[in-house]
Structures are given as C-alpha cells and as structure tokens.
Amino acid sequence: MNPSAKASVPVIRRLPKYYRYLRALKDAGVNSISSRELAAQMGTTASQVRQDFNCIGNVNGRQGIGYSVDKLLSILEGLLFGGGDHLPAILLGCGRLGTAVSSFIANNNNGFTLIAAFDVNPALMGQTISGIPIRPLDSLEDFCSQRHPQMAVLCLPRSGAEQISGRLVELGIRGFWNFSHYDLSVSYPDAVVENVHLGDSLMSLGYRLRND
Amino acid sequence: MNPSAKASVPVIRRLPKYYRYLRALKDAGVNSISSRELAAQMGTTASQVRQDFNCIGNVNGRQGIGYSVDKLLSILEGLLFGGGDHLPAILLGCGRLGTAVSSFIANNNNGFTLIAAFDVNPALMGQTISGIPIRPLDSLEDFCSQRHPQMAVLCLPRSGAEQISGRLVELGIRGFWNFSHYDLSVSYPDAVVENVHLGDSLMSLGYRLRND
C-alpha cells in the first residue's frame, strides 16, 4: 500500500510547497535540512513538518544532520508527478483565461499534458492554443472515447461549466481544475476538484485591505 | 466600529462565495432564503451559515421566512467592495500570466482598478496591457509617490518577486495579489497577502488523481 494514501487534503495541499522549497534548497547546493530550519523558511512549525513527512512515507531525519533533500525530493516527485508519467488533460473554454491557463500547463512540468482544447465559438475553429488545435464542443464524445483524458480544465462561465460537467464525468473525466464559479463538488462528490476562484481571492484581499 | 472587524480569515474567505450564491438567487428572482437552503446549495451547514452571518453585522433571519437576499447582498457589497470605492492597484510583470490577470481585473467589478503596469523588458515599453501603458520598473518610485497605489499584483518569477516586494512595501503597498512562488507573508507579516499558486493547485490535483 502506498503510505501516501493516508495523507489528508490539508497535508496534500502543503506537499507542493515543500517541493518548491526543497527544489530551491537543492538549487542552492543544500544537501540536508532540519525540520526546524525548513519550518522557519515556510512559516510553519517543526512539529507540523515532521507530522507531514510521516504521512508521505518512510522519511526519517537523522539526529544532528536532518533530512536528506534529495531523498525528500525524490519521494515528493513520485507522489506529485507519478515519476514523469503525465496525465492527459483537456481544456474547456479558449478565451483569455483559457489561453493563459493552457500556456501555464504547457510551460510548467506539473504532471499533466494538455491533449485537446474545446470551445463553442465557430471563429476559433482551426486555430491553436498553446500549440493544440481548438475543436468544436460537439466532437467531445468522439475525442474522449478515443483518447481517454482524465482531467478537464474549466475556463468557462458558470452556466457553461454547469452544463458540461455532468457530460465530462460520464465521459470518464475524474478530475477538474476549475476556474469557473460553478461548485462542482456539490453535484459530483466523487470527482477530484481543485478550484481556482480568482474573483473570490481578489474580493477577500479587498475586504482585508478595507477592514484590517 | 465595523462589526466585520471580528471576522476571522476563514470567514472572510467564505464571504465571496456567499456573495456569488446570493447574486445568483437574486438573478433568479428569489427574495429570501433560510440558512438551511443556503447551506445545502453551498455544501456547508446551516449552523456555519448563521455563525458567519453573525460575524458580518446585524443580519437576522426571520422565523419561517429566512434572510432577506437584498439585505445580505447590500451588506456583503459594502464589506467586499467598499460601496463602489475602488482601490488603486498596480501590476508587476506583463508576460502571459500578467496579461491574463490584468484582463481579469479590468473585466470584473471586484473592487480594484488597475492604474499602472510595470516590466523590465524594454521591448514592452510603449505597449499597453488591458488598456494601461506598460512602464519601466525604474519609474516605480515616481509613480507611487504621485498616485499612491495600495495593492500590487505580482506576476513575476520567484526571484523578481523577492527582489521587488520590500521596495513595494516601502512605497506604501499594503496588499499583494501574489501569483509568484515567493512567500511574502514570511518576510512581511504586516502585509495583506492573497496567494494564487497555480502550480501548487495543479500538483495537488495530480496527487489526488494518482493516489485517491
């Protein structure tokens, strides 16, 4: 059994941050680090770091030396990126946000490969987005039955996301990177959903600046 | 005293979601809603909804009728957007992500107005981004002393964000919408920071799809 299976969602959300810090340490030539030093850099506690590392496998720091940066990176890369085995993803919505998000996926080695993009706008057909041809939405069924994408990036308005998400779940999509304002997790509790609500984040910032 | 001052960060983070749901209810012609109905739509509990509304002011639901949608919207608009008084913001980094983010701010009424954009790339000078001229980074001090922006959007690489953030705090920037991988809150605990870590979100999604 993968020891990572016991990691809770809050732990999982912290793993990319550990990964980023450890990459920076490796780039700076650091070979080992204590939970206390890592915690100080990340703004958390040494106890939290040790608990989190316990969840992801057999990671023991050595007294007086600390954790091996290479060993931690290798474990985290396996967990986060599946050892280089990219998951196939599709993009729904090729507007400005979809363009930026597709470029982000194409330029970052985050464990996914975008294999198709879909839109309803006839003017976009035949064009490409981050090197991928834009397809009409009515070719979605054919495409998914042939290529079996596992993740969908939703860069659509709320109504579009609401209309399409059930269809995507039926076509075998298991995960959503959701930029829309439609709360998928209420309707599809079995789907794995990461929401990026840019508007909510900006509103929270405004609230705190006005009321702090 | 503003009753909202007692709202904790987790409550503040939920307010935009309430706002979105209540807008959708109003658009659908709904005048009042119970905490139970609202909780069911949002995937939370009625008790959580009532506690949250207690934090934001004198919001009492009426037995058998529920909360007034209009009254809640009016309170939330005041808290989140300051009654239409937009806060001036600047963008640092005019690449692909900066372009998408600036367009998002320009096209959404989220309480901020982008008044300038800065970059170090000479090829971008004289060009515009979402209708705003791109300025050289060395004009930052002059601009801020004249126009007093309060929020900075960071669409820079980690190293660029690390270099510029202290300078921005000294120039009066109180809040950051941070798309970079630099963790500002460790170095500047007094700054109001909203992080949008797209890479982290994508990595978490990959982890959950591979290990769920």
Question: Is some CB atom of chain A closer than 8 A to the CB atom of B97?
Answer: yes
If contacts are CB pairs under 8 Å, which of residues 101-140 in chain B contact chain A? Answer: 101, 103-105, 108, 110-112
- Note the pLDDT tens digit of each residue in B115-146: 999 999 999 999 999 899 999 999 999 999 99
Does the CB of B8 have a partner CB in chain A at under 8 Å?
A: no
Give the span between the Cα atoms of A16 and A14, in whole angstroms: 6
Residue B80 annotated as binding site:
no
Any known ligand binding at A166? Answer: no
How far is CA B8 from each of CA B43, B84, B148, rounded to the nearest angstrom? Answer: 20, 23, 28
CA B167 distance to own-chain centroid: 22
Which one-letter DSSP state was computed for residue B57? S
Name the E strands within chain B: 32-33, 67-68, 87-92, 112-119, 128-129, 132-136, 151-154, 175-178, 192-195
Give the model confidence (pLDDT) of B32-85 as tens digits.
999 999 998 888 899 999 999 988 877 777 777 889 999 999 999 888 887 778
| 3-state DSSP assignment of residue A136 | strand
Chain A, 129 to 188: residues with Cβ < 8 Å from chain B are 150-151, 158, 174-175, 177, 181, 183, 185-186
Residues of B in contact with A43 (CB under 8 A): 183, 185-186
Please report where in the chains the tokens 């069924």 appear, as a residue: A141
Per-residue pLDDT, A136: 97
The 10s digit of each residue's pLDDT in A125-179 is 999 998 999 999 999 999 999 999 999 999 998 889 999 999 999 999 999 999 9
Q: Where are the alpha helices (DSSP H) in A82-117?
A: 96-107
User: Which residues from B are below 8 Å from A108, CB to CB?
Assistant: 199, 202
At B110 the pLDDT is 82
The stretch A34-60 carries a mean pLDDT of 87
Considering only alpha carbons, which residue of chain B is nearest residue A185?
Answer: B43
Cβ atoms within 10 Å of B21's Cβ, excluding its own: 18
Angle formed at CA A204 by CA A203 and CA A205, multiple of 5 degrees = 90
pLDDT of residue B26: 94
Cβ of B186 and A43 within 8 Å? yes
DSSP 8-class letter at A104: H
- The count of CB pairs under 8 A between chains A and B is 182
Shortest CA distance to B207 belongs to which of A115, A77, A200, A145?
A77
Closest CA to B154 of B129, B187, B132, B179: B179
Establish whether B114 is an annotated binding residue. Answer: no
Backbone angles phi, psi at A155, to 5 degrees: -115, 55
Query: Chain A closest CA to B61's CA: distance in Å?
Result: 23
What pLDDT score does B2 carry? 45
- ipTM for the complex shown: 0.88
| pLDDT exceeds 50 at position A100 | yes
pLDDT band (50, 70, 90) for residue A7: confident
